[in-house]
Amino acid sequence: MGVQIFPERSPLWLRGLTEVLGSPGSAKLVHKMQGHMRFASRKPKHAAVLMCFTGSADAATLPEDAQILITHRTPTLRNHSGQMAFPGGRVDPGDAGPVGAALREAQEETGLDPLGVTPLAVLESIAVGPSGNPVNPVLAYAQEPGPVWAASPDENDDVFFTPLSHFINPDNRFRVARLGWSGPAFELDGYVVWGFTASLLSVMIREAGWEEPWEHKDVVDLRKALGSSRNGEGHGF
């Protein structure tokens, strides 16, 4: 049995996004944002990620203190090394579904106390990366999340809540491209957020009605963007 979600406990400023992401068709929104990525997996390994928001519980519209939890994956990892990502990982047999896995992984990676996190919605499975493994993003809210840190330095060497205003700011948005593919990206304190994580952020910003006009034609070669970033990614492009 999976961990229960509580969309009715969403603060007003997250209510619309909770409804959209918890409805049929959520995977199509992300697939479209990812561009022309098309992958297949013979032996899929089901995974989940936690998109944990924090901010005023009483605000009706996006509050100034709204933030979202994000991590930087250690560059020495075998898979997804150096990437900016939401905390998450494989759904283990003992997990209570994708929500249970996302909460467990977030606690292991960032120290986030699951008792202070309210799951709001679970997106449909989305095929991600060269493996095509299915991932269920979990939307969640923590009014008082407490401290977070790189609790598992072998997996993540940087963990922090980032103001939503940073990702919304047009000055921090651009697109990256490589070998016929292009997708959204964000600049974040010298890091480059791209790929699946950037697609999820872009969908949430747009569907919540927070998007400001930005230059979609500002396209940077992915290799160049990563080469001048703090990511330290081991990529195969």
Check if the beta carbon of residue 175 is closer than 8 Å to that of residue 182: yes
d(CA 135, CA 127) in angstroms, rounded, equals 6
Over the stretch 87-96, which tens digit does the pLDDT of each residue have? 999 999 988 8
Over the stretch 132-184, which tens digit does the pLDDT of each residue have? 789 999 999 999 999 999 999 998 999 999 999 999 999 999 999 998 889 99
- pLDDT for 204 equals 97
Check if the beta carbon of residue 204 is closer than 8 Å to that of residue 196: no
Check if the beta carbon of residue 123 is closer than 8 Å to that of residue 163: no
- pLDDT for 10 equals 98
- pLDDT for 234 equals 64
Kindly report the pTM of this predicted structure: 0.93
Over the stretch 173-223, which tens digit does the pLDDT of each residue have? 999 999 888 999 999 999 999 999 999 999 999 999 999 999 888 899 999
DSSP structural state of residue 16: H
- pLDDT for 236 equals 53
- pLDDT for 213 equals 95
SS3 content of the chain, % helix, strand, coil (to 5): 25, 25, 45
Amino acid, res. 25? G
Domain chopping of the chain, boundaries:
7-163
> In 59-171, which ranges are E strands?
67-73, 84-85, 88-90, 118-122, 126-128, 133-141, 156-163
Architecture of domain 7-163: Alpha-Beta Complex (3.90)
- pLDDT for 130 equals 65
